[in-house]
Amino acid sequence: MHFDLNEQQQMIKETAREFAEKEIKPVAMARDRIVDPEEAFPVDLFKKSFELGFHKMFIPPEYGGMGLDCLTSAIIWEEIAAGDAGVCVSYQGHALAITQMVNAATEEQKETFLKAVTEGEGCLTALSFTEPNVGPCWLLVYPDYAMEATAVLEGDEYVLNGTKNFVTNGPMLFLRTRNGLQPGDSLLISGEKKTITLNINAISDSPLQTVEIVINSQIVKSFPIDGIQKKFDGSVKVEIESSSWICARCTDRDLLLNDKELTLYEGPPVKLNQKPSRLRFAHTSPIYLQMNGNHVVVQKSIKEGRGIIRAFKEFAEQNAAKEYQKMILEATRQADCILSSLNAD
């Protein structure tokens, strides 16, 4: 057994590295500081990457893809991540959606959706996984957890029920306070309540359906959206309390296929109604309202973080090569010590 790259893999590695060095890395830091929602997501950069076929890596050749194996795809991701990890994450989310179709879709579905990605200018697909009570990382911490959304066959149709929190590669959504605080920041308030002004921006390549402000899981403001609007800018004053969190969410309608193409498609086991609409969802991370840094939301996040570290430690003890175990276990010990110092037991 050897771990040398073959000629094709070496060529792909060099191509991906050159792209990352010339197109991604020089603008990565600047893009992190872009405030304008229309400019923040690097649409032009992804279009350039489509010319190299990166969006086709997991799609079989019979549908116009590259049909690369996991190792070769990982080589591409590694080089892209060296330029900007965020760009790599968008491609990984795209790959998750593609692999679901490759592994589970009917032949008719593959012909329709995979070729919609490979033909034309190219595009990224979106995937909705995280739910209010479970997400990818939670499955490491709580083995008994499972996704709650269901697809139940009733007659000739599948009925979907459930709630999703995030859609990777969905529409873009930006939330800020008037003073410039944004998701991930903490807002320190002196009393029990305070009225603040929130600014919200949403942008999509498809018509927006909803834009909402959410405080502690409750919708406090819903903005009216017309049928063709792809961009939204608004502000609202809200009253907030200590130990709360604020976020925003929106949906748009995915126009990968037009209505005619959707209504004509009835390949088993899925049957679409006459006017189907696939909604994509965007959700900001919370802005925390701080009360001595120990409010319940922060405590819960730290507790889950420590659980993930413990799960990774157990995995490493059982599976990591002996020459790496000492380094891994020391790293997990240090990470756990930092979190435990925050008094979130």
pLDDT in tens, 34-77: 766 567 778 888 889 999 999 999 999 999 999 999 889 999 99
Quote the pLDDT of residue 265.
39
Distance between CA atoms of residues 12 and 56, nearest Å: 13
How crowded is the C-beta side of 234, counted as CA atoms within 13 Å?
18
| Residues paired with residue 279 on neighbouring β-strands, in sequence order | 253
Percentage of the chain lying above the pLDDT 70 cut: 70
Distance between CA atoms of residues 137 and 148, nearest Å: 15
Quote the pLDDT of residue 21.
94
Distance between CA atoms of residues 283 and 40, nearest Å: 16
| 267-275 average pLDDT score | 36
Q: What is the pTM of this model?
A: 0.57
Asked if 21 and 83 touch (Cβ cutoff 8 Å), the reply is: yes
Q: In which band, very low, low, confident or very high, does the pLDDT at 288 lie, cut at 50, 70 and 90?
A: low
Asked if 18 and 10 touch (Cβ cutoff 8 Å), the reply is: no
Quote the pLDDT of residue 123.
83
**pLDDT tens column, 91-100:** 988 888 898 8
Pairing of strands 150-154, 157-161: antiparallel
Helix (H) or strand (E) holding 63: none
Q: In which band, very low, low, confident or very high, does the pLDDT at 324 lie, cut at 50, 70 and 90?
A: confident
Max avg pLDDT among 24-28, 149-153, 239-243: 24-28
Quote the pLDDT of residue 300.
60
Q: Given a cut of 80, is residue 112 above it in pLDDT? A: yes
CA dihedral 34, 36, 39, 40 (to 10 degrees): 50
Quote the pLDDT of residue 182.
67
Q: What is the mean pLDDT of the chain?
A: 76
Max avg pLDDT among 64-73, 200-209, 227-236: 64-73
Q: Given a cut of 90, is residue 278 above it in pLDDT? A: no
| 194-201 average pLDDT score | 85
Max avg pLDDT among 53-67, 88-102, 217-231, 285-299: 53-67
